[in-house]
Structures are given as structure tokens and as C-alpha cells.
A = this chain, B = another copy of it.
């Protein structure tokens, strides 16, 4: 029986100034998924984790993504999918994207790699729509392509893989709930032109910093005058984390996706661990449960392991 096991990594959408257009894959945490063909046409999903996610294909982000792939494939096919999530749903670390992207990468491998990466993103965006109501690609793209990706446009889909230095990433996930749909609704529908200009200056700086391996430029450009001032209100300790982690030597950082996780980038591993200590101290003091990760940019995306 044909079977494949994949590891689908967490991702950081937006990267502070790049709301809806930038995303980055990281090495951990990651979900583990096993996909096999079965004789009966259809999608049969089993979760082995603790998150009580729906297993009916049409209610599961991996299920609807696989369905989109099967609709394109046109021949009848049956998939057994076992998902063990390590990326907590609602963390802001691309949990739904990992399920969606992992499933379609695994299926494509089993079917003989007939689809392009862009096709796979297109399929996986159906999972994002189910999870958050909006077909966005800033998590599924880096999850599938690896590294840092730019989504120039959604319709038509235009994904560009960017170079990036091998930065260290420290993450704190305060254990509070922020729903993506809520954190989208609190955004204003209009922005000041002068703020938009500041924002696109920073986006330009961030992308150039990645392409040129200019870490100081990356640091200077990690500034968001539009989304962060609104969304950070939902995250206790945010301003303190950002300020103190920068003082601890981090290049900069901000909200991961729509939060509540906060990520900080560092040039050196040692700094990344100092930043973790800083985060721990702050949430110990505030008295909010938290989880931290020290990891790196994942240049490969979903990994096929067996």
C-alpha cells in the first residue's frame, strides 16, 4: 500500500509590516501527517492529537484542501489521512495552513508529483478559507515553498520565493485565544495614505534586507504602523516583550499572523535564547500561561520523511 509521511512546519504570516503578503516557514513546531491511498473513493481523516478538530472531510482544513486537489485530479481516488498536530490551533503559527499544506504535498507525492507548488497553494487555500473565512496564502505559501515567500497577488495567484539569511526565531505563545476572524474584523477598512507610505517603505526595506542578507536593514524594517497598533491590544504584554527582546539583542519582531504568538528574529543562537528568557520572565510576571520556541527559518517547507 502506498503511504507517505510528511512533516508540515509552522509558519509566521505577515512578518510585521507585510500584512497579507509575506510569510516565513520555521523549523519547529511541525505537524506529522501520514497519507495513504485506499480502495474506497473519498477522504478519511483521523486525528491522533488532543485538539478535537472535526474529522469529517468537509469540515476539516486538510479535508477540503484534499478535495480541491481531487477535483482537479478528476480520476476517483481514496485517501486515508492521519494527522498528529503539534501546532496548536489558534496560536497564530499557521496551524490550519500546516494541515492543509501537509495534506496536499503528501497527496501530490503519492500521485507522482503532477501538480506544481502554485497548484498546491491554490488547493490549500481552501483550508484557509474554511478556517478563517478568507482565502489567504501567506501561511500556506511558505509552508509549501519553504523560506520566506511574497504573495504579490492572490487573484491571480503570484507567489515569489525570496532568499533569506538563516536567522534564529524565538516565539512566545501566550495561552490566550485570539480568533483570526475577530482580529481581522477589528482592522479599519481605510488607512491614512501617509501610514500606507511608511508601511510600503518598510516592506521594501524588509524584502531588500532578506535579499541582500542585510540583518540590520531587516531589523529597521520590522515596523508596522497599520495592523500591529490595533491587534497588539489583544495580546497582554506585547509592548513589553517587543521592547525588552530588542534590548536583549533581537533584530526585531512582532505579532505572528493574527496572534497571539509573538516572534522575534535574531542573528545569533545565543541571542535567540536570551530573548526566550526575556519572554519567560515577562509572562511569569504577568501570570499568563505560555509556551516558547527557539527555532530557525525553515528553507524547505513540508518535508517528506517516508
A interface, CB within 8 angstroms of B: 18-22, 150-153, 158, 160, 162, 187-194, 196-205, 207-208, 211-212, 217, 220-221, 226
User: Given A189-B193, A199-B200, is A208 in contact with B207 using a C-beta cutoff of 8 Å?
Assistant: yes
A158 and B190 contacting across the interface, CB-CB below 8 Å: no
User: Given A162-B208, A208-B211, is A200 in contact with B203 using a C-beta cutoff of 8 Å?
Assistant: yes
User: Given A152-B221, A217-B160, is A22 in contact with B193 using a C-beta cutoff of 8 Å?
Assistant: no
B152 and A204 contacting across the interface, CB-CB below 8 Å: yes
Can you pick out 16 interface pairs between chain A and chain B where the beta carbons lie within 8 Å of each other?
A21-B200, A21-B204, A150-B201, A150-B205, A152-B201, A152-B202, A153-B202, A153-B220, A158-B205, A158-B220, A160-B217, A191-B191, A196-B196, A199-B200, A211-B211, A211-B212
A187 and B191 contacting across the interface, CB-CB below 8 Å: no
Interface centre among A20, A150, A158, A196 (most CB of B within 10 A): A196
A217–B151 alpha-carbon span in the complex (Å): 12
With a cutoff of 8 Å between Cβ atoms, the chain B residues found around residue A202 in the complex are 152-153
With a cutoff of 8 Å between Cβ atoms, the chain B residues found around residue A193 in the complex are 187-191, 226
Count of this chain's copies in the oligomeric assembly: 2
A203 and B205 contacting across the interface, CB-CB below 8 Å: no
Whole-angstrom distance from the CB of A176 to the nearest CB of chain B? Answer: 25
Interface centre among A18, A192, A208 (most CB of B within 10 A): A208
With a cutoff of 8 Å between Cβ atoms, the chain B residues found around residue A212 in the complex are 211
A189–B197 alpha-carbon span in the complex (Å): 11
A199–B212 alpha-carbon span in the complex (Å): 22
With a cutoff of 8 Å between Cβ atoms, the chain B residues found around residue A18 in the complex are 200, 204
Whole-angstrom distance from the CB of A185 to the nearest CB of chain B? Answer: 12
Interface centre among A150, A201, A205, A217 (most CB of B within 10 A): A201
With a cutoff of 8 Å between Cβ atoms, the chain B residues found around residue A151 in the complex are 201
With a cutoff of 8 Å between Cβ atoms, the chain B residues found around residue A199 in the complex are 196, 200
User: Given A204-B150, A204-B207, is A190 in contact with B187 using a C-beta cutoff of 8 Å?
Assistant: no
With a cutoff of 8 Å between Cβ atoms, the chain B residues found around residue A211 in the complex are 207-208, 211-212
Among the listed B152, B196, B220, which residue makes an inter-chain contact with A191, where contact means beta carbons less than 8 Å apart?
Answer: B196
A200–B19 alpha-carbon span in the complex (Å): 9
